[in-house]
């Protein structure tokens, strides 16, 4: 299945690529007489305004995982997958009010740096190595794979060429310019991302309605498959194991979102680069509002594709293209690329630019954060403590290059994975509960000790695996249990917290740890703009869940 691209489509895409590279390199230039230092390269000179932060948060977050993976999950399970987006909006408010004030007050470059200040250098190093491995072998690799899968499906570009092309595009401006280049180009990327996503949604819904428009298309899709608009799935639903009912509201979804939005370097890094805490919090509010509309451009098209494929009349109206290479039930991740081939001339170029923008912006963010952690937490800690500004920035560029090469080699090996978005969530979910427990108690319980944190973090892995899988030959009904991975994350988080509390209490006999963080009410005071925005976001979330509860 390859899209029939015309000259205008290629010209639109080329213009987009030139614009991104041009802006990226322009903001990356060194000011006369000024040598880039760590703050310039890794934190954009701490000069980002709120709107750049908000746009960059979404550009870093929305990638092939969402456009391809979440659309695929919409195709397979329906609107319920949108909980990842709508609950994320609520999570962002918590991060902005309770986490950011502490991080910015401590002047952090990296999340592992917080671990050192609160716990110990040893624990920081353990987590730094873990995060580098996660970014290289899971995040960068999966984004490259899903992105090149889209290129292969839409344009027939061989997988390896797609991987190399995307990698070179992201590297062209991000390696040289650092976070500044990434953040400022993200502002442009978000425009393409949202515009292109809306174009695809419009096409899908207009096609379903027989040319009668978006509203009519939504009604048609809802009437055709009302069960796919249920946000809370019951146990009879085949996708219950991925989205276990109320677990998305009160269970493990909180673990996934708090870990991702609060303690994920490539997400939180742009908030640390703000002009001020107030600017950072305003950026958080902007990102929360944008998260509310993301399902419209990544989930609804997947549901519409399902309706189109199962309606012979609609398929017939699509011609030969509609009848070829139709995604089967076990090829959910091909639903979005399948839709793109029906876009008219010109709009294909915009939609393709949107998809590329989502992929490249995430790659650039992950590369910058991987190099930040390696350079600041490994290189400057153990290899060259007195590194000059030039050496520090040079190591940042070198480490990002090596990470990208490894990811390019690994990406094609992910072939054959269905619903890649769920795959990524599930395997990240094995380690995220323990790390979240370490951070939450470190931030808000002054009695937490370094020993308690290390024991808890190490214990969290076997606890997660206990809930995840029984050894071969063992009956899951006897000793081991096998629960939905979202519930597994919730249980693992609670048990890890209990272990950390017990070990810390026994070690310090109930006394505060010497590195405990003193908290005051004034630290968490937020502006009226933040409070009003947060209230509006919460009202919209309540309305959405009320409309699509079952």
The more confident residue out of 403 and 273 is 403
Measured distance CA(41)–CA(30) in Å, rounded: 11
φ/ψ of 249, rounded to 5, equals -100, -40
Q: Note the pLDDT tens digit of each residue in 384-401.
A: 888 888 888 889 889 999
Note the pLDDT of residue 508: 85
The whole-model pTM stands at 0.87
Contact 434, 498 (CB under 8 A): no
Note the pLDDT of residue 36: 65
Per-residue pLDDT band at 131 (split at 50, 70, 90): confident
Q: Note the pLDDT tens digit of each residue in 211-235.
A: 888 899 999 999 998 988 988 888 8
Point out the least confidently predicted range of 95-104, 152-161, 421-430, 497-506: 421-430
Q: Is the pLDDT of residue 476 over 60?
A: no
Can you give 279-337 as a three-state secondary structure string? HHHHHHHHHHHHHHHHHHHHCHHHHHHHHHHCCHHHHHHCHHHHHCCCCCCCCHHHHHH
Measured distance CA(363)–CA(437) in Å, rounded: 28
Note the pLDDT of residue 287: 95
Q: Which of 52, 49, 305, 92 is nearest to 185 (CA)?
A: 52
Per-residue pLDDT band at 322 (split at 50, 70, 90): low
């Amino acid at each position: 299945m390859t899209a029939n691209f015309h000259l205008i489509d290629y010209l639109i895409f080329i213009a987009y690529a030139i614009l991104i590279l041009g802006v990226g390199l322009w903001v990356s230039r060194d000011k006369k007489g000024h040598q880039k230092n760590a703050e310039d390269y890794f934190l954009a000179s701490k000069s980002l305004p709120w709107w750049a932060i908000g746009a960059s948060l979404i550009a870093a977050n929305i990638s092939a995982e969402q456009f391809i993976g979440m659309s695929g999950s919409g195709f397979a399970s329906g609107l319920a997958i949108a909980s990842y987006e709508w609950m994320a909006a609520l999570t962002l408010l918590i991060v902005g009010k309770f986490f950011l004030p502490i991080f910015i007050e401590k002047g952090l470059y990296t999340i592992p740096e917080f671990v050192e200040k609160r716990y110990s250098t040893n624990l920081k190093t353990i987590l730094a190595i873990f995060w580098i491995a996660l970014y290289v072998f899971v995040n960068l690799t999966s984004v490259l794979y899903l992105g090149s899968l889209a290129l292969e499906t839409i344009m027939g570009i061989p997988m390896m060429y797609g991987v190399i092309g995307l990698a070179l595009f992201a590297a062209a401006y991000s390696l040289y310019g650092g976070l500044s280049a990434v953040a400022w180009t993200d502002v442009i990327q978000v425009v393409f991302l949202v515009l292109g996503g809306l174009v695809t949604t419009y096409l899908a819904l207009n096609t379903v309605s027989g040319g009668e428009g978006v509203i009519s298309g939504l009604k048609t899709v809802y009437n055709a498959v009302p069960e796919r608009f249920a946000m809370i799935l019951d146990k009879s639903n085949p996708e219950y194991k991925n989205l276990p009912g109320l677990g998305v509201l009160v269970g493990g979804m909180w673990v996934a979102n708090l870990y991702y939005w609060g303690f994920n370097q490539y997400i939180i890094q742009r908030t640390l680069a703000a002009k001020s805490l107030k600017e950072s919090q305003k950026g958080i509010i902007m990102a929360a509002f944008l998260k509310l509309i993301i399902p419209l451009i990544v989930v609804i098209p997947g549901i519409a594709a399902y309706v189109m494929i199962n309606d012979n009349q609609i398929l017939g109206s699509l011609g030969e293209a509609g009848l070829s290479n139709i995604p089967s039930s076990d090829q959910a991740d091909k639903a979005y690329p399948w839709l793109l081939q029906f876009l008219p001339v010109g709009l294909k170029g915009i939609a393709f630019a949107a998809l590329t923008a989502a992929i490249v912006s995430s790659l650039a963010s992950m590369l910058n954060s991987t190099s930040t952690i390696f350079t600041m937490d490994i290189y400057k800690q153990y290899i060259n403590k007195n590194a000059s500004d030039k050496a520090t920035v040079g190591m940042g560029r070198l480490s990002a290059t090596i990470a990208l090469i490894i990811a390019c080699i690994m990406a094609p090996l992910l072939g054959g994975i269905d619903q890649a978005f769920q795959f990524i969530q599930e395997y990240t979910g094995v380690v995220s509960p323990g790390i979240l427990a370490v951070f939450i108690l470190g931030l808000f319980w002054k009695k937490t000790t370094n020993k308690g944190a290390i024991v808890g973090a190490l214990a969290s892995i076997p606890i997660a695996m206990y809930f995840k899988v029984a050894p071969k030959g063992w009956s899951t009904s006897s000793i081991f249990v096998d629960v939905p991975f979202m519930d597994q994350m919730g249980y693992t988080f609670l048990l890890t917290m209990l272990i950390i509390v017990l070990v810390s209490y026994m070690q310090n006999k109930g006394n505060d740890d010497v590195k405990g963080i003193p908290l005051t009410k004034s630290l968490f005071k937020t502006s009226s703009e933040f409070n009003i925005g947060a209230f509006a976001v919460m009202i919209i979330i309540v309305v959405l869940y009320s409309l699509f509860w079952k």
